[in-house]
Structure 1
């Protein structure tokens, strides 16, 4: 009954905006050409740990089509992205026992990889002191100082942490999905 619909898509020309980009880091991950610690994957979205995290658990949620702008993302992918962000955020807060998160989606401005993606960044632990000795201490930090503190706070994702953390998140996600059935 639906075979004519399937046949209509055989050898179809893909719109250039929907095609993957051979130089895009995320497209390379999606084609298994680059490694990644995958937390969640479905037919439209993949969630991975950031390789240069701001804080432990820093996660990226990425649609499986190459689009540079959030504003041009097809609605079905935007919906899948939103659902994945919510599920990953819930799992992160449970595993990290920290409900503070920052969810960021950049469009051109501050977008290091020109492929739509959201960052889910756990908030710093409130009792962890921050070294501000090289910055002004009596006034709030300037925008440039905040950016520098965030940049200096990045570390390389450690394999042991990534493997263990990804396992915890995947277990949490599977329990959450099963509890909704």
Structure 2
């Protein structure tokens, strides 16, 4: 989709800290993470919302999301993850995407208030992407 930043990332035209690139989707670090290591998972094809994802794509896409949740927890030593998706309302990019956010007890995340942080620099972001990628279970 012309002008869609996530389509640009999928196509390799927009730089991103990629964690995984597979048939079922692409995963990369959020540039405005709730916590460092916050990953976005997108389907390769442009679509706006979960309701647009074809039924035959659901198992592969959500297995990919599930594997990323394991990788974020394992690779970052997190206590767990918060997995979420907005559909249309509150989507900062109008392309279906799933948030996989590392969580630790007492991290301060309450309800749906999402504070944002920043990486110190590109090297730190790449280190987080590499740690999650290294922990990604096999398909």
Q: Secondary structure at the residue paired with 1:61?
A: strand
Alignment pair present for 1:161 and 2:114: no
Aligned residues of 2:18 and 2:129 also touching (Cα < 8 A): yes
Using the alignment, how far apart are the partners of 1:109 and 1:75 within structure 2? 22
Alignment partner, residue 105 of structure 1: 85
Using the alignment, how far apart are the partners of 1:117 and 1:43 within structure 2? 15
The higher relative CO (CA closer than 8 Å, separation ≥ 6) is in 2
Larger Rg: 1
Query: What stretches of structure 1 of length at least 5 have no aligned partner?
Result: 1-20, 131-140
Choose between structure 1 and 2: higher helix proportion.
1
State the Cα deviation string for residues 104-157 of structure 1 (Å, max 9, x = none): 11111211111111001122442x6x5xxxxxxxxxx8x8xx63xx3xx31234
State the Cα deviation string for residues 62-96 of structure 1 (Å, max 9, x = none): 00001102012112332222011111111111122
Q: TM-score, normalised by structure 1?
A: 0.68
Task: Please tell me the root mean square deviation across aligned C-alpha atoms, in Å.
Answer: 2.0
Aligned residues of 2:36 and 2:117 also touching (Cα < 8 A): no
Q: Secondary structure at the residue paired with 1:76?
A: helix
What does 1:1-181 correspond to in 2, within 5 Å? 21-126=1-106, 147=113, 150=114, 153-157=115-119, 158-173=121-136, 176-177=137-138
Divergent runs of 4+, >3 A: none
State the Cα deviation string for residues 27-46 of structure 1 (Å, max 9, x = none): 11112221011111112300
Query: What stretches of structure 2 of length at least 5 have no aligned partner?
Result: none
State the Cα deviation string for residues 10-50 of structure 1 (Å, max 9, x = none): xxxxxxxxxxx111110111122210111111123001000
